[in-house]
Chain A
Amino acid sequence: MSYGSTEAVRGIDLDVHRGEIFAFLGPNGAGKTTTVEILEGYRKRSGGEVTVLGEDPERAGREWRERIGIVLQSGRLDPYLTVRESLDLYAGYFRNPRPSEDVIALIGLEGKTDERTGRLSGGQQRRLDVGMALIGDPELLFLDEPTTGFDPSARRQAWDVIAGLRDLGKTVFLTTHYMDEAQRLADRVTIIAAGQIVARGTPQDLGERESGETTIRYRSGGREVVMQTTTPVQALHELTAKALADGEQLEGLEVTRPSLEDVYLELTAEAASPIEEGASS
């Protein structure tokens, strides 16, 4: 899959199950948007096989578009139409739309029904973006970095909306560069860096899989000691046995395992280092 002269993503192999929230996680420039735009039918791929809802997005037509909803990474609505008018306009494009009132309730904009979209806050506009993608009552939703640039409370609200999609039985393909977002929302996560997949699994798996290195930290005679080990039980046993024998206090003893955030940063840094920066997202 490439465009221009740079191959943006390579060897991407994804399998998304019906009814799940699938997170496609990676840093900016990793190739997430390229991949999702190929899946949405916006972008032609240079090779490989893609099937979304049983069809090749490059050739899929109107019927296929009845079944998907897309939230683009950026984009504004007509600033002179109200929330309800924007939804009603799009409802007309679909054969069996969800009523605009339902969608407004789902995205929590009941108080803003007759507000022009140009006057909504960033977080409210983003929720309306999700609403616009929901109006056709799609089976599959693509959300491209839905909370980038949000303050914490706006993110929390957007997360509630996305988590609610699962209860509606929708399949969600979410791209994000926030580990916590994937962790909070996704059933399964695939991590991409520099155009290649570096890890995949449930959020829990990913945390445990990389549990290799445990860090043990303590002070001895005023000196900070840090040791990394793959066998923490044995290392701790030896350490404490020796300390007991020597009558030594292990001041500030601390045993830590890497957080999911650490795992993510490590994985993406490894993948990015040998390859030139600048692969477009």
Chain B
Amino acid sequence: MNGLALVGHQFRYDQKAFWRNPASVFFTVMFPVILFLILAVVFSGEDVNVRGGIDATTYYVPAIMSLSIISATMQTLAMTLVIAREDGRLKRGRGTPMPPWVFIAGRVGNSIVVALMMLALLAAIGALFGADVPWGRLPAILLTLVVGAASFCCLGIALTAAIPSQDAAAAIVNAMLLPLYFLSGVFIPEDQLPNGVIAFADLFPVRHFFDAFFDAYVPAGGSAVSWDNLAIVALWGVAALLLAIRYFRWTPRTG
């Protein structure tokens, strides 16, 4: 098989394994849906004082989409790659003629496809709650998603270098992402956050991605593509990629 066919081959089996793994299906697919339903029901009818006032459901659609894209990419990759590394699966793969990049490309492809599915799923559920799907902005939405997904994939791969064991994976990933979701206005609308919080969150890529995705999804004037936010997200991605190339390990750290 040539390189591209081999990536497709790897991707097929990564998809099978993903959908059969109850943990990945729950945390990556079910959890964002449940979270959106709860937030949409609790805050239904309320307004969020952003962009001259929008209703809470319209706010939470892009918010939870951002979360689920980060979950499908950074979180899924960091966790599954650490587990595969500690199980010796990465080492076993390195003993075959498969080029290492094929394995990574299969996993990244898996993450981006899941992210796209989550976009469609949450858009459909959002529409049931009255948040219209902005079809006219689809190119901007897809561009933002692809730049964000690729960058957060790099961040997830780089993060594996800082995770010593399978047991530590979930703790480290959640300890990084959960506070950033709160501080970036994903869970609590940004008009209700104290001054300075968003400025602090601006130091990290989650806030910039959410901001860019919000601009793409919510038709409230301005450009649909938030170039400055996307550039910052992409810079994080490139920096992470360089770290990953330098520090990613294929052999177990434990055992």
Binding site for B on A (CB under 8 A): 40, 42, 62-63, 65-66, 68, 70, 72, 74-78, 80-81, 85, 88-90, 92-95, 116, 132, 136
Chain B residue at minimum C-beta to C-beta distance from A78: B17
The docked-state distance in angstroms from the alpha carbon of A134 to that of B17 is 23
Chain A residue at minimum C-beta to C-beta distance from B95: A70
B95-A40 in contact (CB<8A): yes
B97-A80 in contact (CB<8A): no
Instruction: Please provide the 10 A-B residue pairs with the shortest distance between their CB atoms, ordered closest to farther.
Output: A75-B88, A93-B98, A80-B20, A70-B95, A65-B97, A92-B9, A76-B87, A80-B17, A93-B96, A62-B97
Most chain A beta-carbon neighbours within 10 Å: one of B21, B94, B96: B96
Also in contact, A76 and B97, with CB within 8 A (given A81-B16, A85-B13, A85-B16): no
Interface string of B11-52 (1 = CB under 8 A from A): 001001100110000000000000000000000000000000
Chain B residue at minimum C-beta to C-beta distance from A65: B97
Binding site for A on B (CB under 8 A): 1, 6, 9-10, 13, 16-17, 20-21, 84, 87-89, 91-99, 251, 255
Also in contact, A95 and B17, with CB within 8 A (given A72-B88, A76-B89): no
26 residue pairs bridging A and B, Cβ less than 8 Å apart: A42-B94, A65-B96, A66-B97, A68-B95, A70-B95, A72-B92, A74-B88, A74-B255, A75-B87, A75-B89, A75-B92, A78-B13, A78-B84, A78-B89, A81-B13, A88-B13, A89-B10, A90-B96, A92-B1, A92-B6, A92-B9, A93-B6, A94-B97, A95-B97, A116-B20, A136-B96
- Inter-chain contact total with CB atoms closer than 8 Å: 65
- Across the interface, which residues of B come within 8 angstroms of A66, CB to CB? 97
The docked-state distance in angstroms from the alpha carbon of A66 to that of B97 is 6
The docked-state distance in angstroms from the alpha carbon of A58 to that of B210 is 45
The docked-state distance in angstroms from the alpha carbon of A89 to that of B17 is 12
B92-A70 in contact (CB<8A): yes
A62-B99 in contact (CB<8A): yes
The docked-state distance in angstroms from the alpha carbon of A40 to that of B10 is 23
The docked-state distance in angstroms from the alpha carbon of A80 to that of B80 is 12
A42-B251 in contact (CB<8A): yes
The docked-state distance in angstroms from the alpha carbon of A81 to that of B93 is 15
A80-B95 in contact (CB<8A): no
State which of A88, A94, A132 has its C-beta within 8 Å of the C-beta of B92. Answer: A132
State which of A68, A89, A95 has its C-beta within 8 Å of the C-beta of B9. Answer: A89
Chain B residue at minimum C-beta to C-beta distance from A142: B95
- Across the interface, which residues of B come within 8 angstroms of A62, CB to CB? 97, 99
- Across the interface, which residues of A come within 8 angstroms of B97, CB to CB? 62-63, 65-66, 93-95, 136
The docked-state distance in angstroms from the alpha carbon of A132 to that of B13 is 15
B218 to chain A, nearest CB (A): 38
- Across the interface, which residues of B come within 8 angstroms of A88, CB to CB? 13
The docked-state distance in angstroms from the alpha carbon of A85 to that of B17 is 10
The docked-state distance in angstroms from the alpha carbon of A66 to that of B96 is 7
Also in contact, A89 and B255, with CB within 8 A (given A72-B92, A75-B91, A94-B96): no
State which of B10, B17, B96 has its C-beta within 8 Å of the C-beta of A81. Answer: B17
A80-B87 in contact (CB<8A): no
Chain B residue at minimum C-beta to C-beta distance from A73: B88
Chain A residue at minimum C-beta to C-beta distance from B12: A89
- Across the interface, which residues of B come within 8 angstroms of A136, CB to CB? 96-97
Known: A68-B95, A74-B88. 6 other contacts (CB 8 A): A42-B95, A42-B251, A70-B95, A81-B16, A85-B13, A93-B6
- Across the interface, which residues of A come within 8 angstroms of B87, CB to CB? 75-77
- Across the interface, which residues of B come within 8 angstroms of A132, CB to CB? 92
Chain B residue at minimum C-beta to C-beta distance from A94: B97
A140 to chain B, nearest CB (A): 12
- Across the interface, which residues of A come within 8 angstroms of B96, CB to CB? 65, 90, 93-94, 136
The docked-state distance in angstroms from the alpha carbon of A135 to that of B95 is 12
B86 to chain A, nearest CB (A): 9
- Across the interface, which residues of A come within 8 angstroms of B88, CB to CB? 72, 74-76
The docked-state distance in angstroms from the alpha carbon of A78 to that of B84 is 8
- Across the interface, which residues of B come within 8 angstroms of A116, CB to CB? 20
- Across the interface, which residues of B come within 8 angstroms of A63, CB to CB? 97
The docked-state distance in angstroms from the alpha carbon of A87 to that of B9 is 13
Chain A residue at minimum C-beta to C-beta distance from B102: A93
The docked-state distance in angstroms from the alpha carbon of A77 to that of B92 is 9
The docked-state distance in angstroms from the alpha carbon of A184 to that of B137 is 70
Most chain A beta-carbon neighbours within 10 Å: one of B87, B92, B95: B95
The docked-state distance in angstroms from the alpha carbon of A63 to that of B87 is 26
- Across the interface, which residues of A come within 8 angstroms of B98, CB to CB? 93
Also in contact, A77 and B89, with CB within 8 A (given A42-B251, A92-B1, A92-B9): yes
- Across the interface, which residues of A come within 8 angstroms of B6, CB to CB? 92-93
The docked-state distance in angstroms from the alpha carbon of A87 to that of B73 is 27
The docked-state distance in angstroms from the alpha carbon of A66 to that of B98 is 9
- Across the interface, which residues of B come within 8 angstroms of A90, CB to CB? 96
The docked-state distance in angstroms from the alpha carbon of A77 to that of B13 is 13
